[in-house]
Amino acid sequence: MLDSTLFLFMMIGLLGIGSQWVAWRFQWPSIVVMSVVGLLAGPIFGFMNPEENFAGLYEPIISVAVAIILFEGSLKLSFREIKGMERSVLRIVTLGAFLGWILGSFAAHYVAGLSWAVSFVIGGLLIVTGPTVVLPMLRQAKLKPRPASILKWEGIIVDPLGALLAVFSYEIIRFLVLEEVGMSELLLFILVSGFAILLGWLLGWCIAWMFKHGHIPEFLKSPIVFVVVIFCFTIPNEIMHETGLLSVTAMGITMANLQISSINDMRHFKENISVLLISTIFIMLTASLSLDTLISMLEINILFYVVLMLFIVRPLSIWISTIQTELSVRERILVGWIAPRGIVALTVSGYFASVLVDEGFTDASILVPLTFGLVFATVVAHGFSITWLAQKLGMAAKEKPGILIVGSNHFTVKFASTLRDLDIPVLITESSWNRVQLAKQNDFKKVYYGEILAEKTEYRLDMTPYDKLLAGTELDSYNALVCTNFMAEFGRSNVYQLSLKSNEEGHLNDIAHTNHGTILFEEGMSWDALIKRMEDGFYFKTEELSESYSLEDYKAMLPEEAVMILIQKKEGEVQFFTIENSLEGHPGDRVLSLVPRS
């Protein structure tokens, strides 16, 4: 086992981020990969045990990381996102959570064999899903906005509620069983919960007010928010365990709905931090489990309990709670199946296992293997099935990824029409009404009228079906701004813009030295050059490569003034020609070029 704390930190980071990369590379659920890697490094091979190595720092590290992850997730909870789905979300996070608690408690008692007292604690705890496991799955599956929003809201809202239900159940148990615990303990729990919500709202409002009035400089915004989040979590949590989760969630939701102009910049930064934290925390938690815990997971009562929670408790609680709501049958089936448990369930179950055993409830020793059994089963079952089930139910975006084009003009409209003919999903966005009409007059109807950089576009425009963005307006500065803004969402290698007008005078020359998208086509093929070719009668032409007709043969036969646009691989993937790359063609690939008329 490792003795150096610094080396252990390094290894946890490498294993966590390495697991994320492997998951991305092979299109596997990242949570599953991290869980397996943590188990291999910890209880199976005994390479590390972070709980022992970090000693007193282990629990604070986990708690602060969970608080930051939960806050970052709650920053995405704008009420505008669930417009038209308010009833469904409210019913799921209230009635659905309550039914899940009651049914889960009965299952814990009658199937897992736990006492009623311990059953109600674990029943409340295991209703949580949480952003640590839900959000990576949503990114993987590319769900349509409605089911994705519902799962996201449920995961983030129910996370602290589940922990609070467990605390509430524990306080009730102590009140009923222990003579020295009186009604004042229950009142304290209610007061602290209310205080936690109030503190979170107040801090969120204060930070938003300071942001809006310029009382915090840009370089201090993220550091100050981080410190305030830790403060917001710690103060209620020191008074009563787990109430800090409620406080940071209230703070995040408050900030998400106060229309702070810089919230998107902070959100991208915090998303990167959350990926790092989720990776390291999952490695730490799974590596800290004992071999006895893993063996206990295979006991027949635990296996039956996990099956019951997967196939009866969750689907039934969602199905009943969403009766006569806006959700369709297919959406209810999908939401009723997807409920992966994560970090909060693991951390809080460990805490309650120890305190309940100390109070004399010896059967609580089974809580950790029971919880991890459900966590591992749900992340594997739901992680590998969400994409397949979403596609079967029609709840996923089109299987073939598409292209989002910014700017409507003679080049982009003809290009979009050609992509459509190649069966590639494509959408044009344009803020000018006259240019929108240009697209429609040229028989291209799939146009979004609105400013792509406006905050409201995030809620009105579903970008899920598109994995590439092309900025094709006449303004280099605007194209660069659009690409920079969407790099975090699409990935740096998937945002493109037209060639910069580096030969012109003025400030546009400076763009070549700033952030921008990958430059398309050949050097100097700017907006003006492309529009000039369209006016001269150039048109888009597609040719298929074969064994006897290679890409080199194709290039040799192209007119000198032609522009090579892209290659559509035989599997459907689109690869653009840029000033930086050198694409390879294979038999069955189709090459698209802009060529002059004969």
The pLDDT value recorded for residue 177 is 65
- Per residue in 244-255, pLDDT (tens digit) is 888 988 898 888
pLDDT(479) > 60: yes
CATH class of 5-392: mainly alpha
The pLDDT value recorded for residue 288 is 86
DSSP 504-530: S-SGGGGGGGS--PEEBSSTT--HHHH
Average pLDDT over residues 473-490: 84
With bands split at pLDDT 50, 70 and 90, how would you rate the model's confidence at 160? confident
Q: CA 44 from chain center: how many Å?
A: 30
The pLDDT value recorded for residue 175 is 67
DSSP letter at 498? P
> Where does 359-443 have alpha helices with state H?
367-392, 410-421, 433-441
Euclidean distance between CA atoms 582 and 460, whole angstroms? 37
What are the phi and psi torsion angles at 538 (to 5°)? -65, 155
237-243: long-range contacts at Cβ-Cβ below 8 A with a sequence spacing of 24 or more? 237/63, 239/192, 239/195, 240/167, 240/188, 240/189, 240/192, 240/193, 241/167, 241/351, 242/160, 242/163, 242/164, 242/166, 242/167, 242/348, 243/164, 243/167, 243/192, 243/193, 243/195, 243/196
pLDDT(193) > 80: yes
Per this entry, what is the length of the chain?
A: 598
With bands split at pLDDT 50, 70 and 90, how would you rate the model's confidence at 506? very low
The pLDDT value recorded for residue 99 is 92
508-539: b (≥16 Cβ within 10 Å) or e: beebeeeebbbbbbeeebbbebbeebbeeebe
Euclidean distance between CA atoms 596 and 541, whole angstroms? 10
CB atoms within 10 A of CB 61: 16
pLDDT(265) > 70: no
Domains 5-392 and 402-595 share a fold: no
Nearest 5 degrees, angle CA 418-CA 456-CA 400? 35
Euclidean distance between CA atoms 82 and 253, whole angstroms? 13
With bands split at pLDDT 50, 70 and 90, how would you rate the model's confidence at 15? very high
CB-CB contact of 335 with 327 (8 Å): yes
Average pLDDT over residues 277-298: 84
Q: 588's torsion region: left (phi>0), alpha (psi -120 to 50) or beta? A: left
Euclidean distance between CA atoms 558 and 561, whole angstroms? 8
Any idea which of 262-271, 399-408, 446-455, 558-567 has the lowest mean pLDDT? 262-271
Q: 271's torsion region: left (phi>0), alpha (psi -120 to 50) or beta? A: alpha
What are the phi and psi torsion angles at 205 (to 5°)? -65, -40
Sign of CA dihedral 320, 324, 330, 335: negative
The pLDDT value recorded for residue 505 is 47
- Per residue in 85-143, pLDDT (tens digit) is 778 888 888 899 899 999 999 999 999 888 888 888 888 888 887 666 777 777 677 77
Question: CATH topology for 402-595?
Answer: Rossmann fold (3.40.50)
pLDDT(263) > 90: no
- Per residue in 316-351, pLDDT (tens digit) is 999 999 998 888 899 899 989 988 887 777 777 877
DSSP 569-580: -TTS-EEE-BSS
The pLDDT value recorded for residue 314 is 92
CA-based nearest residue to 164, from 181, 184, 186: 186
Euclidean distance between CA atoms 266 and 249, whole angstroms? 16
The percentage of residues in the chain with a pLDDT greater than 90, rounded to a whole number, is: 11
DSSP letter at 42? I
- E strand segments, 260-419: 402-406
* Burial class of residue 315, CB neighbours in 10 A (0-12, 13-18, 19+): middle
CA-based nearest residue to 334, from 159, 150, 87: 150
DSSP 239-259: HSTTHHHHHHHHHHHHHHTTT
Euclidean distance between CA atoms 228 and 222, whole angstroms? 10
pLDDT(17) > 70: yes
Q: Is 596 helix (H, G, I), strand (E, B) or coil?
A: coil
pLDDT(580) > 70: yes
CB-CB contact of 33 with 19 (8 Å): yes
Arithmetic mean of pLDDT over the chain = 82
The residue extents of the domains of the chain are 5-392, 402-595
